[in-house]
A = this chain, B = another copy of it.
Amino acid sequence: MNAQSATRKTFRREGEDKRREDLIAATLECVAERGLAGATVREIAQRADVTAGLIRYYFPTKDDLIGAAYRAVMNRMTVQASDALQNAADDPRSRLQAFVTANLGAPIMDPHNLSLWAGFIALVHADPAMATAHRDGYLGFRDELEILIREALRAAGKPAERIHTRRHAIAINAIIDGLWLEGCLAGDIFEDGELAETGVAAIEAVLGISLQAEGGAQ
């Protein structure tokens, strides 16, 4: 059987979508374990149980794969946050609280996510296409947040004009980002749920309302 030479690797032909997903997943594993520098074409291929050449068949260049992986992560985080909203109560204040809490806990607040995100941000500066991709993501997030804020303010009987909600969205977005960052970088020096609590409290202070539907000031 093995008389002659090393036998050629057997393989299955997968659907295009499945392969792309697998390759992206493998990329994320590599980045998670050894950082962006550890995500080499060969390492990714091995992780996906595929030979290196195949990567180029689906992604013209390595940067394309990395870019796809970045978008996948950002999208995943967005979806996870939105899921939390689906399961939240009806009251807009509860919904805002749920959104914040979701963003400041597992699995969104995770060192791996930060690694990937930071690696990308570092590239943004050199690559304009990546820059606009990121900006769109940021503005999308902020817009979603602004809607939640407006509805929470209305539910509390507070004025919610655009001029105010914009500023509030900027500030609250900063609070979420900043705490997310702290938690990803050094989650172990905070108690469980401390960052989420801190975030909710800070946001309540900024908006001047309670996010507990029960105790909400009229």
Contact = CB atoms under 8 A, between A and B. Distances in A.
Interface of A: 32-38, 111-112, 114-115, 118-119, 121-126, 134-135, 138, 167, 170-171, 173-179, 181-182, 185-186, 189-190, 194-195, 198-199, 201-202, 205-206, 208
A175 B179 CA distance: 8
Nearest to A123: B35
B126 A185 contact: no
Contact of A138 (B122, B167, B185): B185
The 3 closest A-B pairs by CB, nearest first: A174-B178, A178-B178, A119-B122
Q: How many copies does the complex hold?
A: 2
25 contacts: A37-B126, A111-B125, A114-B121, A115-B121, A115-B122, A115-B124, A118-B121, A119-B122, A122-B122, A124-B185, A167-B201, A170-B182, A170-B198, A171-B199, A171-B202, A174-B178, A174-B181, A174-B182, A175-B175, A175-B202, A176-B178, A178-B178, A178-B181, A205-B205, A205-B208
A174 B179 contact: yes
Given A33-B126, A115-B121, A167-B201, 14 more contacts: A35-B123, A114-B121, A114-B125, A118-B122, A135-B185, A138-B182, A138-B185, A171-B199, A173-B178, A174-B199, A175-B175, A175-B178, A176-B178, A178-B178
